Amino acid sequence: MTAVFADGTTESADLLVGADGVRSTVRTLVDPGCPPPRYVPVLNTAGYSEHTPPGAEMGRLTMVFGRRGFAGWLPAPTGGTWCFANPPLTGEPSAEEVAKTSDLQWRARLYDLHRSDRSPIVALVEATPGPLRGWTTYDVPTVGRWHRGRMVLIGDAAHATSPAAGQGSSLAVEDAVVLARCLRDLPVPEAFRVFEVLRRARAERVVAEGFRTSSAKSPPAVGRLVRDLVMPVVLRRHDPQAWVRAHHVDWDAPVVPVPALAG
Ligand SMILES: Cc1cc2nc3c(=O)[nH]c(=O)nc-3n(C[C@H](O)[C@H](O)[C@H](O)COP(=O)(O)OP(=O)(O)OC[C@H]3O[C@@H](n4cnc5c(N)ncnc54)[C@H](O)[C@@H]3O)c2cc1C
């Protein structure tokens, strides 16, 4: 395999592992018909604030479901606080529209969304020197083919997840370990086929869950009421994310050929 880069340099190797992220070029070679990444209906903005909310604890990330927006903060060891917010936006804005949103416009939007919340978001934003900037995020729910010839996709290139899942990096690292096991124990292309069988269902389930969580960050009034009543009770009894964190990859276990995925 020889990869030719935009700067004119080339690299030759036995395999090409496409670990090139949500806008993967290798994906377009492995699965040319794959739809483009899907817009996740919340914007992102973040900053470093000079305000420290009362009761803030080092090492504790606090996330809040506000009345009209989701946000969070984490005390920094340097004395200030990192904070982020996810203003909801159903329709995908153009890159130009996001880029030209000014610091003042971001502040006005966050003030409007969070001014009636019992949270320190407005105080955090006011004490953030800025300039505040924002960005859109995307996921990739399913890629029809994960491998072709001596090329294989891993990480966001194969299954990008909304940041709301908090799992994209973990999935990418899991992929790397599982692919290494498969290449250690099986020849190509069997190694790629088994890698996909071992990884696809879990990765796509996390992506689906992440999209659902993003979309539920700012529900209408009735949904909010139900969420605020039900969530504390449910979370006390049951961790709906336990299956995500309980995952274990046994490096030493030999990889054996497995049946193909159905469909
Ligand atoms: C706002 C936000 C918050 C997130 N929060 C979390 C979180 O809390 N927990 C979590 O686990 N995950 C989180 N994620 C997701 C996580 O960042 C990604 O899932 C992870 O980085 C994917 O790793 P990757 O190696 O597959 O791709 P990437 O990290 O995107 O790396 C791809 C690399 O390939 C390079 N590249 C792309 N195209 C080319 C090319 N043509 N030639 C050469 N190089 C190229 C890119 O420059 C990049 O360095 C978050 C993502 C976002 C956007």
> What is the span of the domain harbouring residue 53?
39-138
pLDDT at 263: 61
- When pLDDT is averaged across residues 142-147 and rounded to a whole number, the result is 98
Tens digits of residue pLDDT in 51-74:
999 989 999 999 998 888 999 999
> How does residue 228 score in pLDDT terms, banded at 50, 70 and 90?
confident
Nearest-CA residue for atom 3 of ligand 1: 163
Q: What is the CATH number of the domain that holds 92?
A: 3.30.9.30
Please give the Cα distance from 18 to 34 (Å, whole number).
15
The two structure tokens encoding residue 243: 């299956």
Q: Residue 2: inside a domain, yes or no? A: no
Tens digits of residue pLDDT in 83-123:
999 999 999 999 999 999 999 999 999 999 999 999 999 99
Kindly state whether residues 29 and 154 are assigned to the same domain.
yes
In the 8-state DSSP scheme, what is residue 119? S
Q: What is the CATH number of the domain that holds 233?
A: 3.50.50.60
Kindly state whether residues 60 and 28 are assigned to the same domain.
no
Kindly state whether residues 59 and 176 are assigned to the same domain.
no
Give 53 Cα–ligand 1 centroid separation in angstroms: 30
> How does residue 213 score in pLDDT terms, banded at 50, 70 and 90?
confident
Please give the Cα distance from 72 to 84 (Å, whole number).
5
At which residue do the structure tokens 């407005």 appear?
A: 122
Q: Residue 3: inside a domain, yes or no? A: no
- When pLDDT is averaged across residues 177-193 and rounded to a whole number, the result is 97
Report phi then psi at 153, rounded to 5. Answer: -105, 140
Domain boundary (116, 138, 160) is at 138
pLDDT at 172: 98
pLDDT at 134: 95
Strands (DSSP E) found in the chain: 2-4, 10-12, 16-18, 38-49, 62-65, 70-75, 81-86, 134-139, 147-148, 151-153
Report phi then psi at 183, rounded to 5. Answer: -70, -30
Q: Residue 87: inside a domain, yes or no? A: yes
Q: Which residue has the higher pLDDT, 221 or 19?
A: 19
* The ligand 1 atom nearest the CA atom of 135: 1
Lowest mean pLDDT across 39-53, 121-135, 235-249: 235-249
Q: Which residue has the higher pLDDT, 233 or 219?
A: 233
pLDDT at 132: 95
Kindly state whether residues 145 and 240 are assigned to the same domain.
yes
Kindly state whether residues 22 and 101 are assigned to the same domain.
no
* Beta-bridge partners for 48: 82
- Is 248's pLDDT higher than 70? yes
Which helix (DSSP H) or strand (DSSP E) does residue 225 occupy? helix 221-237
Q: What is the DSSP string of 159-224?
A: H---GGGS-HHHHHHHHHHHHHHHHHHS-TTHHHHHHHHHHHHHHHHHHHHHHHHHHTSS--HHHH
pLDDT at 240: 80
Q: Residue 251: inside a domain, yes or no? A: no
Give 173 Cα–ligand 1 centroid separation in angstroms: 11
Domain boundary (104, 138, 172) is at 138
Question: From the centroid of its chain, how far is CA 122?
Answer: 25
Q: Residue 260: inside a domain, yes or no? A: no
Which helix (DSSP H) or strand (DSSP E) does residue 95 occupy? helix 95-99
Q: Residue 148: inside a domain, yes or no? A: yes
Domain boundary (107, 138, 169) is at 138
Kindly state whether residues 76 and 123 are assigned to the same domain.
yes
* The ligand 1 atom nearest the CA atom of 20: 34
Kindly state whether residues 46 and 113 are assigned to the same domain.
yes
pLDDT at 215: 72
Q: Residue 181: inside a domain, yes or no? A: yes
Best residue for ligand 1 mutational test, from 2, 7, 25, 169 (most atoms within 8 Å of Cβ): 169
Q: Which residue has the higher pLDDT, 130 or 16?
A: 16
Position 218, amino acid: S
- Is 124's pLDDT higher than 70? yes
Kindly state whether residues 96 and 153 are assigned to the same domain.
no
Question: Taking all residues of the chain, what is their mean pLDDT, rounded to a whole number?
Answer: 92
- Residue 83 contacts residue 70 (beta carbons within 8 Å): no
- Is 255's pLDDT higher than 90? yes
Kindly state whether residues 32 and 145 are assigned to the same domain.
yes
What is the domain count for the chain? 2
Share of the chain above pLDDT 70, in %: 98
Residues contacting ligand 1 via CB (< 6 Å): 5, 19-21, 25, 44, 137, 155-157, 163, 166-170, 172
Kindly state whether residues 106 and 26 are assigned to the same domain.
no
Q: Residue 238: inside a domain, yes or no? A: yes
> How does residue 214 score in pLDDT terms, banded at 50, 70 and 90?
confident
Nearest-CA residue for atom 1 of ligand 1: 163
* The ligand 1 atom nearest the CA atom of 168: 19
- Residue 23 exposed, middle or buried by CB count within 10 Å (0-12, 13-18, 19+): middle
Kindly state whether residues 145 and 241 are assigned to the same domain.
yes
Report phi then psi at 257, rounded to 5. Answer: -55, 140
Kindly state whether residues 181 and 230 are assigned to the same domain.
yes
The SS3 call for residue 110 is: helix
